[in-house]
Amino acid sequence: MLDLDRLRGGLIVSCQAAPDSPLDSATAMTDMALAAVMGGAVGIRANGVGHVRAIREAVTVPVIGLRKRRLPGIAVYITPTIEDARAIADAGADLVAVDATLRPRPDGTSTAAMIAVLAREGIAVLADVDGLEAGLAAADAGAVAIATTLSGYTQLTSPTGPDIELVRRLVAASSLPVIAEGRYRRPEDVRAAFEAGATAVVVGQAITDPVALTRRLVEATPNVRTA
């Protein structure tokens, strides 16, 4: 079982690429992870069995793994099934991130039941939530940590920046480590999350998505051209 103190007070870098990105390969994401660790990251978040396995073999810091799958008629797409979670754990992830919102899962299993099964199997679950109720339910079911990853990405909440208030509420209501994630782009955002009590902060696009970063800067040029 991962000692979560290894993440305490540090930055976790999410090394993921969109399916249409030229960086969507295990080699590219492993190089990105190595660069992040060189820069001081205490952990890596990665998507997909192949990427998780390659990154786990390359770095010594903890790896948070997940499997994104879009299924017809189902909003849940971050590690939607127990089988997905097992596959990511088998690939070497120290923590398996799952969508732990209260939305329906593809097989009809409740999120709480899924987390409970994984906990009994010794798989450490990081609960990606969109609100306080989901976070507390995941904690009760056996998750080892809670992340604010899905705040702003469901109908429950619609913040435009980092949801510092959700971090604060989860820290006050639960004894589990709370990992701040979602729209963290600036040093002041990261500081605010730690001041609210976060154990660690995840940053993704602001570090590892050159397409998005380029588009943001291109918008400031006189001749705006985006791919």
Domain residues for 111? 4-218
Q: How many domains is the chain built from? A: 1
The predicted-structure confidence for 131-165, as pLDDT tens digits, reads as follows 999 999 999 999 999 999 999 999 887 778 999 99
In a domain, 60, yes or no: yes
In a domain, 226, yes or no: no
Asked if the model's pLDDT at residue 184 lies above 90, the reply is yes
Asked if the model's pLDDT at residue 15 lies above 60, the reply is yes
What is the CATH number for 152? 3.20.20.70
Q: What is the pLDDT of residue 160?
A: 82
The predicted-structure confidence for 187-212, as pLDDT tens digits, reads as follows 999 999 999 999 999 999 999 999 99
Q: Please name which of 53, 86, 55, 83 lies closest in space to residue 71, comparing C-alpha atoms.
A: 83
pTM as predicted: 0.96
In a domain, 8, yes or no: yes
In a domain, 224, yes or no: no
In a domain, 131, yes or no: yes
In a domain, 162, yes or no: yes
In a domain, 227, yes or no: no
204: left (phi over 0), alpha (psi -120 to 50) or beta: alpha
Pairing of strands 10-15, 95-99: unpaired
Q: What is the pLDDT of residue 1?
A: 72
The distance of Cα 114 from the centroid of its chain, to the nearest Å, equals 18
In a domain, 179, yes or no: yes
